[in-house]
Amino acid sequence: MIPVVALVGRPNVGKSTLFNRLTRTRDALVADFPGLTRDRKYGRAFLAGYEFIVVDTGGIDGTEEGIETKMAEQSLAAIEEADVVLFMTDARAGLTAADLAIAQHLRSRDKVTFVVANKVDGIDADSACGEFWSLGLGEVYQMAAAQGRGVTNMIDYALTPYAEAMGIVRQLDEEGEQVEREYTEEEAEAEQTRLQSLPIKLAIIGKPNVGKSTLINRILGEERVVVYDEPGTTRDSIYIPMSREGREYVLIDTAGVRRRSKVHEVIEKFSVIKTLKAVEDANVVLLVIDAREGIAEQDLGLLGFALNAGRALVIAVNKWDGIDQAVKDRVKSELDRRLGFIDFARIHFISALHGTGVGHLYESIEEAYDSATRRVSTSMLTRIMQMSQDDHQPPLVNGRRVKLKYAHAGGYNPPIVVVHGNQVSKLPDSYKRYMMNYFRRSLKVVGTPIQLRFHEGA
């Protein structure tokens, strides 16, 4: 239930400046995975206690006839799919014809819209902003995105009513560590049993035409499926419950397979926002790639979202039928080169069309889910931490040896291990990586990223 916030406005009003500011902390996360270019249009943000998806819709310049002619289809779709629109204007430039055209469009779509007058730094803001009231969209919020002034307030204003209506609670901090409890051995085991009886929410994502629908039909054809025909809106994925060999699943169908079968529904277009929401809501993401197309930027963009969300991940390289060995070799070396940095995810070569390899996907999906959600007791984590320290002493920092004291779980899906000790924040990255790999090996974590956090003191 992650809110989607769209930034709308003509060029040069400061949309990308605001976008960068909102997504900055998240950028750092993606940067941990070298080789991933970030999609500058979609980002995850955390501000004012809310996590949300922010979309920069690009600009229109107002000289065009109808708004649709200039606003790319994707941008219009983003507005449709957004929960909240931030309509940005330039307080220095004043009201323009393009602003009026955009306002008219937003009013006609009946979108929850907040007018933002940006660039109020160094000008008489109140008098500069007055004219934006005539857009007919209510209050005008003053902001200086470049300085970060008014940004948190704006998000607070814009998201709180939505969050309250949707029952989304404000988090104290992004990491949400304080909500995690510690487990004894027995509690961890009991929780594990319970978790394995819950359905695995599996999002099947991929760019258009990679074979998502074919794969879903293949899966549904082979398994006993109980489909409940929820009405749902076009902006949402379809949730399809199924069970297989004693495990419960909910397939999150971003391709709209089920809906296509209904007479009155048109075939939906691919939607990035729908995919992002599906990723947020899933335990495990199955990323489908088309072997015949190689790895495209869009594949990497979607992959970036799965990584950024910390989701367990399985990769299916589809259409592995009817291609010759040379092509297969080329695809494999490209996977190595471009996806080699994701060392945790299992890769399967499948043919959704013929069903080849599809059955083996479940093993990896279940393994990834179990790894991602497994509760581990504080004593076990502390023991592993101790072993890693015994095998390989932490280095000296300022002439003193870094001392690790204890470790406990800080979250699941992805698993987070919090390590307490003296000077731990000064540990070099190489040692942090060593520890991370040590935890990964010791806990047999497969198919999910794992995070390590360090806290000073006990």
- Choose one: 100-108, 171-179, 205-213, 417-425; the region binding ligand GDP (CB under 6 A): 205-213
Question: Site for ligand GDP (CB under 6 A): which residue of 1, 11, 25, 329?
Answer: 11
CB 410, CB 417: distance < 8 Å:
yes
Taking CB under 6 A as the rule, does residue 55 contact ligand GDP?
no
Rounded CA separation 93/364 (Å): 55
Q: Considering beta carbons, is residue 43 or 49 the nearer one to ligand GDP?
A: 43
CB neighbour list of residue 438: distance below 8 Å, 6 or more residues apart: 384, 387, 388, 391
DSSP 227-243: -------TTSPEEEEEE
Taking the C-alpha atoms of 357, 359, 361 and 367 in order, what is their torsion angle to the nearest 10 degrees? -140
Q: Return the HEC string of 48-72.
A: CCEEEEEEECCCCCCCCCCHHHHCC
Site string for ligand GDP, 269-308 (x = CB under 6 A): ----------------------------------------
Site string for ligand GDP, 212-241 (x = CB under 6 A): xxx---------------------------
Range 136-165, binding ligand GDP (CB under 6 A): 144-147
Taking CB under 6 A as the rule, does residue 17 contact ligand GDP?
yes
Taking CB under 6 A as the rule, does residue 23 contact ligand GDP?
no
Strands 396-397 and 416-422: unpaired
Taking CB under 6 A as the rule, does residue 125 contact ligand GDP?
no
Q: Considering beta carbons, is residue 15 or 420 the nearer one to ligand GDP?
A: 15
Taking CB under 6 A as the rule, does residue 410 contact ligand GDP?
no
Taking CB under 6 A as the rule, does residue 352 contact ligand GDP?
yes
Taking CB under 6 A as the rule, does residue 318 contact ligand GDP?
yes
Q: Which residue is nearest to ligand GDP (CB)?
A: 211
CB 421, CB 402: distance < 8 Å:
yes
Q: Considering beta carbons, is residue 11 or 138 the nearer one to ligand GDP?
A: 11
SS3 28: helix
Question: Site for ligand GDP (CB under 6 A): which residue of 277, 319, 348, 375?
Answer: 319
Taking CB under 6 A as the rule, does residue 440 contact ligand GDP?
no
CB 440, CB 390: distance < 8 Å:
no
Strands 451-456 and 416-422: parallel
Rounded CA separation 135/158 (Å): 18
Taking CB under 6 A as the rule, does residue 315 contact ligand GDP?
no
Taking CB under 6 A as the rule, does residue 76 contact ligand GDP?
no
CB 411, CB 392: distance < 8 Å:
no
Taking CB under 6 A as the rule, does residue 211 contact ligand GDP?
yes
Q: How far is the CB of 143 from ligand GDP (least distance, A)?
A: 7
Taking CB under 6 A as the rule, does residue 208 contact ligand GDP?
yes
Rounded CA separation 19/2 (Å): 17
Exposure class string for 391-415: b at 16+ Cβ within 10 A, else e: eeebeeeeeeebebebbbbbbbbbb
Taking CB under 6 A as the rule, does residue 119 contact ligand GDP?
yes
C-beta atoms surrounding 80 within 10 Å: 14
Q: Considering beta carbons, is residue 153 or 393 the nearer one to ligand GDP?
A: 153
* Nearest by Cα to 93 from 54, 62, 138, 57: 62
Rounded CA separation 280/201 (Å): 10
Taking CB under 6 A as the rule, does residue 130 contact ligand GDP?
no
Taking CB under 6 A as the rule, does residue 210 contact ligand GDP?
yes
Q: How far is the CB of 116 from ligand GDP (least distance, A)?
A: 10
Taking CB under 6 A as the rule, does residue 57 contact ligand GDP?
no
* Nearest by Cα to 417 from 387, 444, 454, 373: 454
Residue 316's DSSP bridge partners are 288, 348
C-beta atoms surrounding 116 within 10 Å: 31
The footprint of ligand GDP on this chain (CB under 6 A) covers a number of residues equal to 32
Q: Considering beta carbons, is residue 35 or 208 the nearer one to ligand GDP?
A: 208
Taking CB under 6 A as the rule, does residue 359 contact ligand GDP?
no
Taking CB under 6 A as the rule, does residue 437 contact ligand GDP?
no
Taking CB under 6 A as the rule, does residue 351 contact ligand GDP?
yes
Taking the C-alpha atoms of 143, 144, 146 and 152 in order, what is their torsion angle to the nearest 10 degrees? -40
Rounded CA separation 140/87 (Å): 10
Q: Considering beta carbons, is residue 255 or 419 the nearer one to ligand GDP?
A: 255
Taking CB under 6 A as the rule, does residue 321 contact ligand GDP?
yes
Q: How far is the CB of 290 from ligand GDP (least distance, A)?
A: 8
Q: How far is the CB of 326 from ligand GDP (least distance, A)?
A: 17
Binding footprint of ligand GDP on the chain (CB under 6 A):
9, 11-17, 59, 118-119, 121, 144-147, 206, 208-214, 255, 318-319, 321-322, 351-353
